[in-house]
Amino acid sequence: MNTKSLLIGLLIGIAVMLLCIVTSVVIIFVARSKGTLLTGNAVGVVEMKGMIIDSTDINDQLRDFLENDRIKAVVLRVDSPGGVVGPSQEIYEEVKKFAAKKTLVVSMGSVAASGGYYISAPATMIYANPGTLTGSIGVLMKLSNIQGLLGKIGLSSFVLKSGKFKDSGSPVRPMTSEEHRLFQGVIDSMHGQFVRAVAEGRKLPVATVRTLADGRVYSGEQALQVKLVDKIGNFQDAVDAAAKMAGIEGKPKLVYPEEKRQSLLSLLVEGTSDRIAEKLKIESGLKAVYEMPGGN
């Protein structure tokens, strides 16, 4: 075989290799996009499951779908008893921004209470199952006192502080009446924020929402009667409604956010650590939560 033939064979081999690489990249890209390149009749699905302790993933998913012209609407599937105030408010704001530009329909699962309801309020439309537990519009601040226990085992605590309220809520001494009023003021402020957010999102008078916002839980049927939800229906009903409101003809393609590829070991390790971190974030320190009692 002469040099020219060898060179030609080498070039053909390189070309075939490059073609295979390009094809593989295209296939992976299309697979990860879950079909969004193939159709403009797509409804995105974002899921909020479990305690609300961080808003990053949910908000990133909503922003990605908002910027994707092929996604005409989103169904936000909520199955959450609530969670920390800050992240709940951040998700609320992102849902509000999305609903101002595209259709966003909430589909409530078994429970969408407290913070779970908070993030649902600004949606274009809310679907709940007849037996969905929702509402629970209120705020909790959990405090403990272990002073008696420390005394029994012969331990005592000493605190140096820069101001008289710096150790408010300390578990090693009784709460003063002044501190009680201070914490109650914080709770009342957060409760007022919750009430105003629901009133704005549901287009209801603030006075009406206040009568509903005593922390009680409603079934889906009861929530419909007091206008906290719009329709009784399941996930597919919410998908159909979102598609119709977005002007999609025919059966819409459901698009889920791209999954982060992880090894089995990392999934096991991160899954365990996330559960521990979630519990610690909720139970430790001084923290107010939009959470249904018994939800965690």
- Whether the per-residue pLDDT at 113 is higher than 70: the answer is yes
- Whether the per-residue pLDDT at 130 is higher than 90: the answer is yes
Residue 6 confidence (pLDDT): 62
Do residues 47 and 108 make contact, with C-beta atoms less than 8 angstroms apart?
no
Residue 71 confidence (pLDDT): 95
Confidence of residue 281 (pLDDT cuts 50, 70, 90): very low
**How far is residue 43's CA from residue 233's CA, in Å, rounded to a whole number?**
17
Confidence of residue 283 (pLDDT cuts 50, 70, 90): very low
pTM of the model: 0.76
Structure tokens at 287: 């923290």
Enumerate the domain spans of the chain. 38-157+167-261
**Closest to 82 measured CA to CA, from 46, 45, 58, 118:** 118
Q: 179 - beta bridge partners?
A: none
- Whether the per-residue pLDDT at 270 is higher than 90: the answer is no
With a CB cutoff of 8 Å and minimum separation 6, the contacts of 245 are: 73, 103, 105, 124, 125
Confidence of residue 38 (pLDDT cuts 50, 70, 90): very low
Confidence of residue 144 (pLDDT cuts 50, 70, 90): confident
- Whether the per-residue pLDDT at 2 is higher than 90: the answer is no
Confidence of residue 295 (pLDDT cuts 50, 70, 90): low
Query: How confident is the prediction for the chain on average, in pLDDT?
Result: 82
- Whether the per-residue pLDDT at 33 is higher than 70: the answer is no
Query: Each residue of 146-185: pLDDT tens digit?
Result: 767 667 787 777 677 788 777 776 776 778 888 878 888 9
Query: Percent of the chain scored above 70 by pLDDT?
Result: 71
Query: Each residue of 201-235: pLDDT tens digit?
Result: 999 999 999 999 999 999 999 999 999 999 999 99
Which residues are designated catalytic? 114, 166
CATH no. of 38-157+167-261: 3.90.226.10
**How far is residue 164's CA from residue 44's CA, in Å, rounded to a whole number?**
51
Angle at 231 between CA 138 and CA 110, to 5 degrees: 55
Could you identify the residue written with the tokens 């090693």?
A: 172
